[in-house]
Amino acid sequence: MKVYFFGTCIGSAAFSESLICSIKLLQHFGVEVIYKKDQTCCGQPSYNNGYYEETKKAALFNMQLFSEPYPVIVPSGSCAGMMMHDYITLFEGTEHENMAKEFSQRVYELSDFLHKELKVTLEDKGNPVKVTWHSNCHALRVAKSVSSSKALLKSLSNVELVELEKETTCCGFGGTFSVKEPEISKAMVESKLQDILNQKVEYLIAGDGGCLLNITGALEKINANVKTMYLYEFLAKRIGIA
Amino acid sequence: MNPRQLIHEKVNDKQLNKNLEYVMYQLQGNRKKLISERYGDWEALREEGKKVKQNALSRLPELLERFEKNATANGIKVHWSKDNDEANEIILNIAKENNINKILKGKSMASEEIGLNHYLEKKGIKAIETDLGEVIIQLIGEPPVHIVVPAIHKNRFEVGEIFEKHLHVERYTEIEDLNRVARTYLREEFHQLKMGLSGVNFAIADEGAIWLLENEGNGRMSTTVSDIHVAICGIEKVVESFDNAVLLNTLLIPSATGQSVTTYNNIITSPRKESDLDGPKEVHVVLLDNGRSGILSKKRYSASLRCIRCGTCMNHCPVYHKIGGHAYGATYPGPIGEVISPLLFGIDKYGYTLNLCSLCGNCAEVCPVKIPLTDMIRDLRNEKVKDNKDDILGINNLPKNNAERKNMEIFAEVATNPKKWQRLMWFIDKFAPFGKPFAPFINGLKQWTTCRAYPKMDASFHKKIKNMQGVKYE
Ligand code: SF4
């Protein structure tokens, strides 16, 4: 099977290793990965600020770039949600309406693709470890891929998943929200940290670059003793392919 | 205080944050538990609720007229008001005609919206709140912090202090004692009750009746012991049938407080009849438009009028938890407030509240009548910045944010130009590690690093994937 891989902007700017691991996972399960070198960003930065015309340009660029009928695999629920849901809204009633519909139904969040389409089984080769999980808001509510992400995590035999008390509460990232409303964002991420620290785990795992940048940065600032890792990097390491 | 200062003050008010967060998660938990234990198919119920409200809105003029006809036949006096001034004046005149200088009030957000207490006070009439939460905030001269639980930002110790200071009693901290103090104070007031005021939860067109929900019994006192009962009713509160109201009630209460029913359900069909032993001699319903028909005419936002004011969007909003209702500077705070305040009262005045949202989507997920709040908040941001301005109140008075626009144009340019994009990634890869000393001077990074370490960037992906085995790089 052939698929397109969409690296996302935050992924390719800050999580190169995790993206490589995402591709290794796909390859490991027999998928041939096509990487379009001209790819950029899904358009969320302008979309969430209400700049719809600017966003349409970025969206159209992507839809045209990923033109063959292969699945588009996105290692982020936030960007996947944008591409599978919001592109349709953006182009409703325009000449690109059908194109958006066709494109959107081929977009998959990576854990959904692994769990629901490929139905993979993961053989855990790592040592026993305790982790917790943060749900990205758009993965949870737009792409709806969180149940797959957690199912994959839970399937690892040596990993104990301790759930956060307020797992589904936003970490305060919200893209440009974090710099437009820095004080509120700060208060939000501090609550998230408290919850994470209360769980006494070694790792915080998340499936989205934005939340990870936010939470990792905040944990580092207070010199907390919890490591963070992108879900796909964690999975790849656990099954011994990275 | 300007909005920025207000938000700054609230977000740094540790006691406020603590009180709010504690209660909000409790309300969330109650709701979740009740729904999972007692409701077979909550989602189907939400869908029904949405349809019932949408249907009523699509026939609003017809239903309002039917309500008026049936209520009038029942002996209720129906008044129409297009805005604050008209509504306030109608209520003042009812009071004046009956030589009344004191009104007792049950909880009503519509009365907050029209600034009734303030207006009446200027005309020499005292409006006394009787809902416990409203009593507390009236004593300290604050507006409600939440549409359902108006004094939820104050814990019992703070309430004890407020009662001590304003009601001149001992300083109590136990809930029973505080209730007793409030009861004694209110009994005094209820003795002299002539005119009672309330809000309306549902106006039922087929029956010409109104339905009020409450937990304390003060609403029943205000509406039955008085000679005159006046109910203020936003025009969007009208539904067709009693069955419709029952369905919405079934959605409202679990969403609001996690109860299955409220302690009191007051369904008022008429003033006192000859054979009745009690009840008011006159019942008035003041129908309030105040910008609602404007919203109804806007396709993008008319669904916001489905709101049944349960408040659960606030209970689930992580931003509201951190700043509380006062930071929004409007009668209606939280997610629904961000949508309706700019539309009802002007986007120039309340447009800034649209930034108070990380678009996490929790509100829309729980709204019992499925209002797509997050999408509407984003759409309203779009109203602020788009070229062809729609007819939104105050839209032409908004200052232009040229810097943001420029940034977004640059973003679109780079996001559609692979060369520029790759150059940007190359730049991050090369220079991000050296940016740290400059972080406090770079807008964006400055805000970011107030509570986070300098971000560890790793933009070597492009370099790596080029040579990755088995990848078709094209
Ligand atoms: S918008 Fe929905 S959740 Fe918010 S108060 Fe109204 S009905 Fe309740």
Separation CA B182–CA B180 (nearest Å): 5
Q: Are residues B406 and B420 in the same domain?
A: yes
Q: Are residues B119 and B207 in the same domain?
A: yes
Separation CA B50–CA B367 (nearest Å): 10
Nearest ligand 1 atom, CA B306: 7
Segments of A126-223 assigned E as strands: 129-134, 159-161, 203-206
**CATH number of domain containing B101:** 3.40.50.10420
Note whether B389 contacts A: Cβ–Cβ < 8 A: no
Separation CA B325–CA B337 (nearest Å): 9
E strand or H helix that includes residue A196:
helix A182-198
Q: Which pLDDT value is given to residue A204?
A: 98
User: How many C-alpha atoms does A57 have within 13 Å on its Cβ side?
Assistant: 15
Q: Which residue has the tokens 């006070």?
A: B121
- Per-residue pLDDT, averaged over B399-407, amounts to 89
Kindly list the distances between the CA atom of residue B296 and the CA atoms of B64, B204, B340, in Å, as whole numbers in the listed order.
Answer: 14, 19, 11
pLDDT digits (tens, 9 = 90+) for A144-162: 999 999 999 999 999 999 9
Domain that holds residue B440: 402-467
Residue predicted with more confidence, B458 or B437 = B458
Note whether B395 contacts A: Cβ–Cβ < 8 A: no
The two tokens of residue B368 are 């019992």
Residue B134 predicted with pLDDT over 80: yes
Within 8 A by CB and 6+ apart from B203, the residues are B67, B209, B210, B211, B233, B237, B238, B239, B285
The Å distance, Cα B145 to ligand 1 centre, comes to: 15
Share of chain B above pLDDT 70, in %: 99
Separation CA B438–CA B452 (nearest Å): 15
Is ligand 1 within 6 A of the CB of residue B312? Answer: yes
Name which of A5, A45, A182 is nearest B411 (Cβ-Cβ): A45
Residue A140 predicted with pLDDT over 90: yes
Last residue within a domain, chosen from B290, B319, B337: B290
**Predicted complex ipTM:** 0.96
The answer to whether residue B157 sits within a structural domain is no
Contact in structure between B366 and A30 (CB atoms under 8 Å): no
Separation CA B1–CA B6 (nearest Å): 6
Termini Cα distance of chain B? 57
Is ligand 1 within 6 A of the CB of residue B305? Answer: no
The answer to whether residue B313 sits within a structural domain is yes
Q: Which pLDDT value is given to residue A222?
A: 93
Contact in structure between A126 and A238 (CB atoms under 8 Å): yes
- φ/ψ (deg, to 5) at B324: 75, 170
Q: Which pLDDT value is given to residue A91?
A: 98
Q: Are residues B104 and B241 in the same domain?
A: yes
E strand or H helix that includes residue A229:
strand A227-230
The answer to whether residue B341 sits within a structural domain is yes
Separation CA A240–CA A156 (nearest Å): 12
Contact in structure between A140 and A77 (CB atoms under 8 Å): yes
Give the CA diameter of chain B.
92
The answer to whether residue B174 sits within a structural domain is no
Question: Around Cβ A128, how many Cβ atoms within 10 Å?
Answer: 10
Separation CA A31–CA A4 (nearest Å): 10
- Per-residue pLDDT, averaged over B196-223, amounts to 94
Residue B442 predicted with pLDDT over 80: no
Enumerate the residues of chain B whose CB falls inside 8 A of the CB of residue A216. Answer: 453, 456
Q: Which pLDDT value is given to residue B446?
A: 83
Q: Are residues B122 and B75 in the same domain?
A: yes
Q: Which pLDDT value is given to residue B240?
A: 98
Note whether B43 contacts A: Cβ–Cβ < 8 A: no
pLDDT digits (tens, 9 = 90+) for A2-23: 999 999 999 989 999 999 999 9
Separation CA B370–CA A43 (nearest Å): 26
pLDDT digits (tens, 9 = 90+) for A100-121: 999 999 999 999 999 999 999 9
pLDDT digits (tens, 9 = 90+) for A26-78: 999 999 999 999 999 999 999 999 999 999 999 999 999 999 999 999 999 99
pLDDT digits (tens, 9 = 90+) for B287-302: 999 999 999 999 999 9
Determine whether the interchain pair B416/A220 forms a contact, defined as Cβ–Cβ distance below 8 Å. no
Q: Are residues B417 and B348 in the same domain?
A: no
Separation CA B258–CA A198 (nearest Å): 27
Separation CA B429–CA A5 (nearest Å): 21
Determine whether the interchain pair B361/A179 forms a contact, defined as Cβ–Cβ distance below 8 Å. no
The Å distance, Cα B362 to ligand 1 centre, comes to: 12
Is ligand 1 within 6 A of the CB of residue B303? Answer: no
Distance (Å) from the C-alpha of residue B140 to the closest C-alpha of chain A? 26
Residue A198's SS3 state is helix
Nearest ligand 1 atom, CA B366: 3
DSSP class of B145: S
Number of domains into which chain B is organized:
3
**Average pLDDT over chain A, rounded to an integer:** 96
The answer to whether residue B75 sits within a structural domain is yes
Contact in structure between B289 and B85 (CB atoms under 8 Å): no
Name which of A12, A168, A187 is nearest B462 (Cβ-Cβ): A12
Contact in structure between B236 and B52 (CB atoms under 8 Å): no
The Å distance, Cα B385 to ligand 1 centre, comes to: 26
- Per-residue pLDDT, averaged over B136-148, amounts to 95
E strand or H helix that includes residue B10:
helix B3-11
CA angle B94-B99-B101, nearest 5°?
Answer: 90
Separation CA B283–CA B136 (nearest Å): 28
pLDDT digits (tens, 9 = 90+) for A227-236: 999 999 999 9
Task: Of A60, A123, A125, give the one whose Cα is nearest residue A96.
Answer: A60
The answer to whether residue B430 sits within a structural domain is yes
Q: Are residues B406 and B393 in the same domain?
A: no
Kindly list the distances between the CA atom of residue A14 and the CA atoms of B51, B220, B362, B428, in Å, as whole numbers in the listed order.
Answer: 45, 60, 27, 9
Residue B270's SS3 state is coil
The answer to whether residue B5 sits within a structural domain is no
Question: Around Cβ A119, how many Cβ atoms within 10 Å?
Answer: 8
Q: Are residues B369 and B330 in the same domain?
A: yes
- Where residue B426 falls among pLDDT bands split at 50, 70, 90? confident
pLDDT digits (tens, 9 = 90+) for B30-63: 999 999 999 999 999 999 999 999 999 999 999 9
Contact in structure between B368 and B34 (CB atoms under 8 Å): no
Q: Are residues B354 and B408 in the same domain?
A: no
The pick from B248, B310, B338, B365 for probing ligand 1's pocket by mutation, whose C-beta has the most ligand atoms within 8 angstroms, reads B310
Last residue within a domain, chosen from B290, B319, B339: B290
Q: Are residues B77 and B99 in the same domain?
A: yes
Kindly list the distances between the CA atom of residue B77 and the CA atoms of B67, B236, B277, B281, B400, in Å, as whole numbers in the listed order.
Answer: 11, 19, 21, 11, 47
The answer to whether residue B256 sits within a structural domain is yes
The β-bridge relationship of strands A203-206 and A227-230 is parallel
Separation CA B328–CA B325 (nearest Å): 6
Q: Are residues B349 and B237 in the same domain?
A: no
Q: For ligand 1, atom 7, name the residue with the nearest CA.
A: B307
- Where residue B457 falls among pLDDT bands split at 50, 70, 90? confident
Q: Are residues B128 and B216 in the same domain?
A: yes
Kindly list the distances between the CA atom of residue A53 and the CA atoms of A63, B5, B20, B149, in Å, as whole numbers in the listed order.
Answer: 15, 33, 38, 40
Query: Which residue of chain A comes nearest to B4, CA vs CA?
Result: A181
Burial B281-301 (b: 16+ CB within 10 A, else e): ebbbbbbbbbbbebbbeeebb
Contact in structure between B385 and B357 (CB atoms under 8 Å): no
**Average pLDDT over chain B, rounded to an integer:** 94
pLDDT digits (tens, 9 = 90+) for B338-365: 999 999 999 999 999 999 999 999 999 9
Contact in structure between B57 and B302 (CB atoms under 8 Å): yes
The Å distance, Cα A216 to ligand 1 centre, comes to: 34
- Where residue B86 falls among pLDDT bands split at 50, 70, 90? very high
Contact in structure between A13 and B425 (CB atoms under 8 Å): yes
Contact in structure between B110 and B84 (CB atoms under 8 Å): no
Contact in structure between A161 and B431 (CB atoms under 8 Å): no
Q: Are residues B453 and B379 in the same domain?
A: no
Q: How many interface pairs between A and B have CB atoms less than 8 angstroms apart? A: 212
Determine whether the interchain pair A14/B456 forms a contact, defined as Cβ–Cβ distance below 8 Å. yes
